[in-house]
Amino acid sequence: MKMTNRWNRFIYRLWAPVYDRTVNHIFLPGRIKTIQLLDLKPGERVLLVGVGTEADPPLLPEEVTTVGVDLSPDMLARPRSKLPLPGRSVIRLQGDAQNLLVEQASFDAAIFNLILSVIPDGRLCMRENLRALKPEGRAVVFDKFAPDAGGISALRRFVNMFSALFGTEITRRFGDMLRGSRAQVIRQDTSILRGMYSVFLLQANPSLGGR
Ligand SMILES: C[S@@+](CC[C@H](N)C(=O)[O-])C[C@H]1O[C@@H](n2cnc3c(N)ncnc32)[C@H](O)[C@@H]1O
């Protein structure tokens, strides 16, 4: 099964009421790590790609401006019960993050937590949203990817059929996501579930010549 926006809208309508109470707590160490790596400064602008129920914003420092993009109106509707937290309001944009929905070169940082394995075309999502970064901008990714080297095992492909039904894939490679983007990996750490998930810190690099 291929992930589509239509499926994601449907499956994340089902996830929305239970996401914060079930799977979300597992992801906390990865979220904390990505936000530490970004080392945000007061006044900086942060783009949250696939912001979901806004699990990341409460972890951000207070004096940053946060814009969150998500396809699912149901996921975007959830945070109203847990926010506002002081100094941590989020400007929410509903739309498809495979297109750049914000002004080019207007953000200091971008967060791609648990979106690249969900959105139909992770590479396009990455490429488009990295264009939102200023020339010195940085980005973080927390997600699960297949190893960049070697083939995808039959077992992984089999399990992927089920994980895709639940709204996420396990056969994507981070190297593929990054191809054609104006960014390079500065740091990579293994994360939760015995290293099934990873955390990446990226630095924008316009000289790489991607779009
Ligand atoms: C696993 S959730 C992660 C949410 C959030 N980033 C987090 O860390 O909790 C994946 C999110 O991607 C969103 N999504 C799926 N397809 C999308 C698209 N084409 N554009 C923007 N968001 C999308 C879903 O609606 C959902 O909120």
Sign of the CA dihedral running 168, 169, 175, 177: negative
Write out the two tokens for 115. 């979106």
**Side chain identity at 49, as an amino acid letter?**
V
Output the CA 180–ligand 1 centroid distance in Å.
22
Q: In this structure, are residues 208 and 179 in contact, taking their beta carbons and an 8 Å threshold?
A: no
What is the predicted pLDDT for the residue at 80? 57
- Atom 15 (ligand 1) nearest CA: 119
Residue 198: strand pairing partners: 143, 190
Output the CA 148–ligand 1 centroid distance in Å.
23
Q: In this structure, are residues 30 and 199 in contact, taking their beta carbons and an 8 Å threshold?
A: yes
Q: Where are the domains of the chain?
A: 5-205
Backbone φ and ψ of 126, nearest 5° = -65, -50
Ligand 1 atom index nearest CA of 48? 6
Residues with CB under 6 A from ligand 1: 5, 8, 12, 50-52, 55-56, 69-72, 75, 96-98, 113-115, 118-119
Rounded to 5°, the CA angle 30-33-37 comes to 140
pTM assigned to the model: 0.95
Mean pLDDT of the residues in the chain: 91
- Atom 27 (ligand 1) nearest CA: 52
CA 116 and chain centroid, separation: 6
Q: What three-state secondary structure class fits 134?
A: strand
Band (2; pLDDT cuts 50, 70, 90): confident
Output the CA 75–ligand 1 centroid distance in Å.
8
Q: What is the CATH architecture assignment of 5-205?
A: 3-Layer(aba) Sandwich (3.40)
Q: Which residue has the higher pLDDT, 87 or 149?
A: 149
pLDDT in tens, 71-105: 999 999 987 555 556 666 789 999 999 999 999 99
pLDDT in tens, 23-42: 888 999 999 999 999 999 99
